[in-house]
Amino acid sequence: MTGVVLNRDGPWTYGLLGYQSWNVGGNPTFGTQNNLYGQPFVAFTNKDAWTYTVNMEAQYNYDAHRTTNPLYVGVSKLMVFDGVPVSFGAGPMYYVSNTPGGPSGWGARATATLVILK
C-alpha cells in the first residue's frame, strides 16, 4: 500500500510519501519486509530548472523493532536531449540511525530520471 500527499506553491514542492509492506512467504535469510515507510520532502526549483531537495526517509522494521533514517540533501538539473527531458541529480546523505547490518554514517546518492510527458 503506497500513498503520497504533495502540494506545489510556486517554485516549492513539499509533501509526504508513505508505504506499508508485509512479508509473505519470503526467505528469512534476506531479512523481513514488514516495514512502515515515510518520507517527508521539500524541494525548490528555480527558473533555470535547478532543483534543491531535502528529505528524510524513515523506515520502521516491525520485526527488528529498529528504524532506518537517512537524511538526504541534493541538487538536480533538468536537461533535454533530442526532445527527451532527463533529470540528473546528486547529493550527500547521512544515516542518523539504521537496522543492524545496514549502512551507517555518510554516503551519497546519484540519480538519472527520464521524464515522460503526456
Q: pLDDT for 15-28, tens place per residue?
A: 999 999 887 766 66
Q: pLDDT for 30-68, tens place per residue?
A: 666 788 999 999 999 999 999 999 999 999 988 878 889
Provide the pLDDT for residue 98: 85
CA 6 to each of CA 52, 57, 107: distance values in angstroms, whole numbers, following the listed order:
16, 16, 27
Give the position of cell 514542492: 13
Provide the pLDDT for residue 22: 85
Provide mean pLDDT across the span 74-83: 95
Percent of the chain scoring above 90 in pLDDT: 69
Q: Report the C-alpha dihedral over residues 51, 54, 70, 35, rounded to 10 degrees.
A: -90
Structural domain boundaries in the chain: 2-114
pLDDT confidence band for 117 (50 / 70 / 90): confident
Contact assessment for residue 55 and residue 39, using Cβ atoms and an 8 Å cutoff: yes
Cα–Cα distance, 33 to 91 (Å, whole number): 27
pLDDT of 114 above 90:
yes
Percent of the chain scoring above 70 in pLDDT: 93
Provide the pLDDT for residue 35: 87
